[in-house]
Amino acid sequence: MPNNPTLHLSIGHALKTVGKQAEAIDAYRGAYRVAPDFGDAYWSLANLKTYRFEEAEIEGMREYEAASTTKLVDRYHLCFALGKALEDRGQYAESFDYYERGNRLKREEVRYDWTRIDKEMKLQIEHCTPALFAANQGSGCRAPDPIFIVGLPRAGSTLLEQILASHSMVEGTMELPNILALAHRIDGRRRIGEEARYPANLAELTADELTGFGEAYVRDTAIHRKLGTPHFIDKMPNNFRHIGLISLILPNAKIIDARRDPMSCCFSGFKQLFAEGQEFTYGLEEIGHYYRGYVDLMAHWNDVLPGRVLRVDYADVVGDLETQVRRILDHVGLPFEQACLDFHQSERAVRTPSSEQVRQPIFTSGLDQWQHYDPWLAPLRAALGPQAEAHTP
């Protein structure tokens, strides 16, 4: 193999995607053998979720993370990997220290402002009214092909995708950027500090424009469809912020809200180093505020678009898989197939951090892992407010 750690890493990612875990592990190890302080190699091993680090690997990670010569990007990758390695060993205090350090370093890099996103969500509530949807009834592209799975990352969306994509009439694709790009396009170019035009300007769009946007979405996403099935899944979680737009341009699309207990969901996001996006996850306060905004916005969609979105709770799926599978298929309008219960036997490629977990039968061990870290989660509880104490209704 060549002396290029990035190439080893890319090979590992490709092998992981198609379920060849042993070969992926060899490739990731090959990456850090070429470049011992290459943080992404260690994080990629941790991100398998099922890999357990050896003592020598942990000591090596500690050494490189502490070295003054280690680059910032490698340092925060090493921090997240050490957090996972020590969590698996039950060393929760030290594990949290590394998770917190990695998040702090990443947060300083992305410079996320939670108030801006909070304002964007409130604008959706303000402008996406019953009157808007009533005025545009009958508009949009009538294609029933798309199934949107929305919510927060680490809320069980990959599991729901795997269940649905095991159906003979559904294809899983990936987290498609098309809706986010369309919202950005409708908003138009703005100067710094200039007020957003979207979503207020949704009321200005004509029926032909709405139909055209929907047709373009179906046409542009066709490149990701390989199986010729009637339906496909768009698993971009952030699409929950644009359910109004989706409903206007694709009125026959189905939408599923993957919901997870607030503390569990938020802390799971805090532990995750994402390849891109999801900047709100790199701080306990930031992710708590984001979760509250998400709950408020989903409640709004349920009010103004009753029956449009099916909420599926992760704990309910774990507790009674068949009942939830039948609910999901009824919502999508598909007949029951046993393969949806046997989703872990699917050989489809999975690109998200949960790829190895969804190749196993349902397990309950992940529901309350956050409780090991409860002594350090006061900022999250404060940001969540009433949401922290009970599962949202």
Q: What domains are there in the chain, each with its CATH number?
A: 5-110 (1.25.40.10), 114-388 (3.40.50.300)
Q: At a CB cut-off of 8 Å and minimum separation 6, what does 234 contact?
A: 146, 147, 148, 149, 173, 175, 176, 178, 179, 221
pLDDT at site 390: 56
Residue 364 binned pLDDT confidence (cut-offs 50, 70, 90): low
Q: How far apart are the first and last CA of the chain?
A: 53
The per-residue b/e assignment along 322-354, b for 16 or more CB within 10 angstroms, e otherwise, is eebbebbbebbebeeeeebbebeebebebbbbb
Q: What is the pLDDT of residues 2-40, one digit of tens each?
A: 689 999 999 999 999 888 999 999 999 999 999 999 999
CB 146 within 8 A of CB 254: yes
Q: What is the pLDDT of residues 228-268, one digit of tens each?
A: 999 999 999 999 999 999 999 999 999 999 999 999 999 99
How far, in Å, CA of 343 to CA of 360, rounded?
8
How far, in Å, CA of 203 to CA of 13, rounded?
43
Count the Cβ atoms, other than its own, within 10 Å of residue 259: 24
How far, in Å, CA of 107 to CA of 43, rounded?
17
Mean pLDDT of 350-365: 53
Q: What is the pLDDT of residues 281-308, one digit of tens each?
A: 999 999 999 999 999 999 999 999 999 9
Q: What is the pLDDT of residues 266-277, one digit of tens each?
A: 999 999 999 888
pLDDT at site 17: 86
Distance (Å) of CA 170 to CA 70, 226, 235, 311: 45, 11, 13, 19
pLDDT at site 163: 95
Q: What single DSSP character describes residue 40?
A: H
Count the Cβ atoms, other than its own, within 10 Å of residue 126: 11
- Radius of gyration of the chain from Cα atoms? 21
Q: What is the pLDDT of residues 100-117, one digit of tens each?
A: 999 999 999 999 999 999
> Which is nearest to 35 in space by CA: 72, 74, 83?
74
